[in-house]
Structure 1
Amino acid sequence: MIFIGCAGWSLGREYWPVFPLEGTHLQRYAARLDGVEINSSFYRPHRRQTYERWADSVPETFRFSVKVPRHITHERRLVDCEAALEEFFAQCGGLGQRLGCLLVQLPPSLAFDASIAQGFFKALRQRFNGAVVLEPRHESWVNAGPLLVTFQIAQAVVDPSRISNDATVGGWDGLRYWRLHGSPRIYHSAYELPFLQTLAQALQTAVAAGATTWCIFDNTASGAALGNALTLVHESIIAAPDHRTNRPR
């Protein structure tokens, strides 16, 4: 499986002709793309009913990736998070089967501590057995590979790279997850076609190896993410089952 999408489901006016005219932005988005990353959960909680409404508005094959709250990753810094995890899962559990992945993005100041990481991953896995991807941003996390494999957690492939091992796949190999923030101008720059074609080949390789594969564009500040995602869908069509109609070409 390949899930290709954006961080959020905003639809820039220049792309409106590609999407259905009717429905909410999420419904229209989900008619052409099969995955999305919810970043707003990082900043504030959403009611379970909100997650349920989102899940009910998309096709059965659509999946959401949900960013773990900063209260857990940046404020508590992975320590004593059991109650916060319970609250978070009580909310995002409203997505049901459409909860496809959790994203754990760490602050650049958070160094790898094996004991703390193991305690957090254990608490997480006691409450959730689905796909989890980690985006560390402190160089010391290059030593976390064996622990990630033990807890079946992938390490995100990130552009621009933040640490020495995040430009290639890492962690548990049952999941592969690309997060593309825009380069050279982070959050703004669009990716050119040659980059996307090379990326499509990497996604196809991951799927051929049996990994559930995600690619999320976070270069949303100038609206580039949506165009890049639509182009990548076309470039990856050999590997991605076409469960939608009128896929853009």
Structure 2
Amino acid sequence: MSVFPVFVGCAGWSIPKQHAGWFPPDGSHLERYARFLPAVEINSSFYRPHKPATYARWAASVPDGFRFAVKVPKLITHESRLAGCADPLDRFLGEVRFLNDRLGPLLVQLPPSFPFDPNRIKAFLGLLRDRFDGEVVWEPRHPSWFIDAGPDRMLAKFRVARVAADPGGEPPGGWNGLIYHRLHGSPEIYHSDYAPDRLPGIARMVEADAAKAPVWCIFDNTALGAATHNACVIWERLYLESGKELRLKG
């Protein structure tokens, strides 16, 4: 039985036609999505800014308890590589605050070429924490982040949880007050569906993690629409196993 909250969702709230039966027929895509799934990851913020009014409209479209994770812009993570980015960081934080109490973690995904650089990381995390005291999750992809415990200790010092990504194989790390899974699809990243015999294991993993900390499980295998189905199956399974009522039966 879960002790901490569980948030299951997708990287984006599109509803592929083949999976529309999980959702009610009326309303915007976001309104329909949020009637069944409890969370979503906004990835479009990585590519372009959104107006404060847009974030406010999204927040008003979802029920109490729904949460948005928001991906930090590539201008900060990939182009500036976390250096000299106070101005774009301030703009981004000024926008996402209009999600109000619907705001979940900020997702910082680093490029695969970004090694662990303790001085640069410490400076950026200090800059971020001077401005934002909410939840932050970190997705590094360079091997240097995983060879010893130093990177995780630094993340934990700043209350930043390290993402457990699939494919990748590394368990969650960093701050232990939050667990965040990003399932990109395997063997083909962004495309592959998680097979029916794999999904029960994912549900068990999420349930076990929820005995330790709040858990997010985000499916990013969106290219062919698999994320929607996978997230709905996991969410339904977690509720059926816990004996709770789903908001909407698919």
Which range, TM-score by smaller chain?
over 0.9
* Residue in structure 2 matching 1:174, options 174, 177, 185: 177
State whether residues 69 and 106 of structure 2, in contact with CA within 8 Å, keep that contact through their aligned partners in structure 1. Answer: yes
User: How far apart in 2 are the matches of 1:240 and 1:147?
Assistant: 36
Q: Calculate the aligned-residue CA RMSD, in Å.
A: 1.5
The aligned runs of 1:145-224 (5 Å cut-off) are 145-161=152-168, 167-209=170-212, 211-224=213-226
Q: Does 1:20 align with 2:59?
A: no
TM-score using structure 1 length: 0.93
User: Which residues of structure 2 form unaligned runs of 5+?
Assistant: none
- Shift of residue 246 of structure 1? 2.5
- Shift of residue 115 of structure 1? 0.9
Question: Number of residues paired by the alignment?
Answer: 243
- Shift of residue 85 of structure 1? 1.1
For residue 68 of structure 2, give the secondary structure of its aligned residue in structure 1. strand
Match of 2:139 in 1: 135
What stretches of structure 1 move > 3 A for 4+ residues in a row?
A: 238-244
Q: Could you say which structure has the greater relative contact order, defined with CA pairs below 8 angstroms and 6 or more residues apart?
A: 2
State whether residues 236 and 246 of structure 2, in contact with CA within 8 Å, keep that contact through their aligned partners in structure 1. Answer: no
Do the aligned partners of residues 127 and 227 (structure 1) sit closer, same or farther apart at CA in structure 2, a change above 3 Å counting? same
* Residue in structure 1 matching 2:76, options 35, 54, 72: 72
The aligned runs of 1:8-157 (5 Å cut-off) are 8-142=12-146, 143-157=150-164
Q: 2:125 is matched by which residue type in structure 1?
A: F
- Shift of residue 126 of structure 1? 1.3
State whether residues 185 and 191 of structure 2, in contact with CA within 8 Å, keep that contact through their aligned partners in structure 1. Answer: yes
TM-score using structure 2 length: 0.93
- Shift of residue 244 of structure 1? 5.1
State whether residues 23 and 248 of structure 2, in contact with CA within 8 Å, keep that contact through their aligned partners in structure 1. Answer: no
User: Which residues of structure 1 form unaligned runs of 5+?
Assistant: none
Give deviations 1:150-207, integer Å, cap 9, x for gaps: 011111111111xxxx521111111000001111111111001232211111111111
User: How far apart in 2 are the matches of 1:52 and 1:151?
Assistant: 28
State whether residues 31 and 244 of structure 1, in contact with CA within 8 Å, keep that contact through their aligned partners in structure 2. Answer: no
Q: 1:82 is matched by which residue type in structure 2?
A: A
Indicate the percent of aligned positions where both proteins have the same amino acid: 49
